[in-house]
Amino acid sequence: MDDFMAKVTTSATMLLTGFTVVFSVLLLLILIIYVYGTIMYKLQNRDKTKKDKKQPQTEEKPVTKMPAVQAAPVASNDEIPGEIVAVIAAAVDSMYGDASGKVRIKNIKKSGGRSPWANAGVLDNTRPF
């Protein structure tokens, strides 16, 4: 009985100590990181707004006029260049062609949000299992 009570005491002490210390230390870290994160964020925003305010002043007095650069033609959603379509089709075929027979690509359009590189990174990180 004494042995049982000793075990209960040890267990309860460990559970209470562990729970309290781990949570206290990590909560303290949350607080500190939150505070310095907020300070940093505000400082950076202040610097940014200062820069933004300064920017127009420097632009007002250009030394020489630069020749206008023509904007590169931007492909609209419906005007993706043929080479790009061919590359995408080849990539899709190499991924799915063998498994499901012939693949027909009906539509290719740009998706918003995540960049292709970010998507590739996410795919790479989630594929192995």
Partner 1 sequence: MEIIDGFVNAINGIIQSSGILHLQWQNFVMIGISIVLMYLAIKKQYEPLLLLPIAFGMLLVNLCPEIMAAQQTTLMTAEECIAAKGSTSGYATTVINGITYYDVPTYGGLLYYLYQGVKLGIYPPLIFLGIGAMTDFGPLIANPKSFILGAAAQIGIFITFIGAVFLGFTDAQAGAIGIIGGADGPTAIFVTSKLAPELLGSIAIAAYSYMALVPIIQPPIMKALTTKKERSVVMEQLRPVSKLEKIMFPVIVTIIIALLLPDAAPLVGMLMLGNLFKESGVVDRICKTAQNELMNIITIFLGVTVGATATGTNFLKPDTIKIIVLGLIAFCFGTAFGVIFGKIMYKATRGKVNPLIGSAGVSAVPMAARVAQKVGQSENPSNYLLMHAMGPNVAGVIGSAVAAGVLLSVIPH
- Please state the closest distance from residue 127 (CB atom) to partner 1, in A: 9
Check the CA dihedral 64-70-76-80 and report its sign. negative
96 binding partner 1? (CB under 8 A): no
- Please state the closest distance from residue 12 (CB atom) to partner 1, in A: 8
Selected binder of partner 1 within 46, 48, 54, 114 (CB under 8 A): 114
Q: How far apart are CA 46 and CA 56, in angstroms?
A: 17
10 Å CB burial of residue 80 (0-12, 13-18, 19+) is middle
Nearer to partner 1, 18 or 81 (CB): 18
105 binding partner 1? (CB under 8 A): no
Q: Which amino acid is at 106?
A: K
Instruction: Decide if 91 contacts 61 (C-beta within 8 A).
Output: no
Q: How far apart are CA 111 and CA 118, in angstroms?
A: 13
Contact pattern from residue 13 through residue 52 relative to partner 1, giving x for each residue in contact according to CB under 8 A and a dash for the rest: xxx-xxx-xxx-xxxxxx-xxx-xx--xx--x--------
Q: Which residues bind partner 1 (CB under 8 A)?
A: 7, 10-11, 13-15, 17-19, 21-23, 25-30, 32-34, 36-37, 40-41, 44, 114, 122, 125-126, 128-129
